[in-house]
Amino acid sequence: MFLLDIRVLDESLREAAAQWRGPIIVSRGRIHHLAQLPGYAVLIGGSIQGLVSFYIEDGECEIVSLDSRLENQGIGSKLIELVIHAAKDAGCERVWLITSNDNIRAIRFYQKRGFDLKAVHRDAITEARMLKPSIPLVGYDGIPIRHEIEFEVKLTLIVEADFRFFQQYFSCSAEIVPQLEELQLQFWQWIGDKNVDHPYWEYRDGSKFAANYKADAFVAWLNEQHFQKQVAKLTSAPHETSRRAVKTLLF
């Protein structure tokens, strides 16, 4: 396991991002200048191994670029987690991104990390070449690059899942929501440290909520952090009731 040195993008790191991906990226007809965007970098041994840039406007956060030089080390997942936290802090309703129709690896990567398909924008990349002629015609595996694939995570549903989960199963009052939210942030941090997939809540069937992470990892965290006892103390619910409710909901 590498020790990840996470940095907020400063001027020099933003320039590095622009050199890595090129100075501009076009998505949904908008030109983004990477040297001007906020983001994060992951350094290992003083060398940049991962970068993410994002753009916030009108209550939405777009992941404009996400790159990692090392695969299967949790770098991309950690960068996504950081952007989602930044978007929540900014009051955004969703985090979204665009990838191209040829990038099968990215399509798989984002769906495994809780992103859902929002739209297929047909021939959008064909039109984007008028703004950025350097976009290649053919991409991975010889697939023609033509369409934009839009994925999203709805943060409003994540928040609703948290609140309704605790209210329904532990009879929570609104006053303790900040404390419960802090517990979930602690779990997200634990997930990042352990490199466990899918640290996001999902909205299911309009009423049920499930956690899209490995059950064994969550049980381990419960045992480490005594989560049930904390929730029971906050809500005045019996310990056994809390534990049973958590297991009923998640598993």
Chain segment 53-82, per-residue pLDDT in tens:
999 998 899 999 998 887 777 888 889 989
Fold of the domain spanning 5-153: Aminopeptidase (3.40.630)
Structure tokens at 235: 């809500």
**Residues whose CB falls within 8 Å of the CB of residue 43, separated by 6 or more in sequence, listed in order:** 4, 5, 6, 7, 49
pLDDT-derived band at 172, boundaries 50, 70, 90? very low
Q: Tell me the angle at which helices 177-194 and 215-225 cross, rounded to the nearest 10 degrees.
A: 120
Q: What are phi and psi of 163, to 5 degrees?
A: -65, -50
103 pLDDT more than 90: yes
Angle at 225 between CA 42 and CA 40, to 5 degrees: 15
- Better-scored residue on pLDDT, 3 or 151: 151
> Which of 53-62, 189-198, 239-248 shows the lowest per-residue confidence on average (mean pLDDT)?
239-248
List beta partners, residue 39.
Answer: 53
Structural domain boundaries in the chain: 5-153, 157-250
Percent of the chain with pLDDT over 70: 61
Structure tokens at 219: 């049980």
Q: What are phi and psi of 8, to 5 degrees?
A: -70, 135
Count CB atoms within 10 A of the CB of residue 6.
14
Pairwise CA distance, residues 42 & 210, whole Å: 30
**Residues whose CB falls within 8 Å of the CB of residue 235, separated by 6 or more in sequence, listed in order:** 166, 170, 171, 172, 176, 242
Q: What are phi and psi of 201, to 5 degrees?
A: -80, 150
> Which of 55-69, 102-116, 154-168, 209-223 shows the lowest per-residue confidence on average (mean pLDDT)?
209-223
CB 212 within 8 A of CB 200: yes
1 pLDDT more than 60: no
Region 160-178 average pLDDT = 47
In this prediction, residue 119 carries a pLDDT of 94
DSSP string, 102-114: T-HHHHHHHHHTT
Pairwise CA distance, residues 57 & 27, whole Å: 14
User: Which range scores top for mean pLDDT: 8-12, 18-22, 58-62, 181-185?
Assistant: 58-62
221 pLDDT more than 70: no
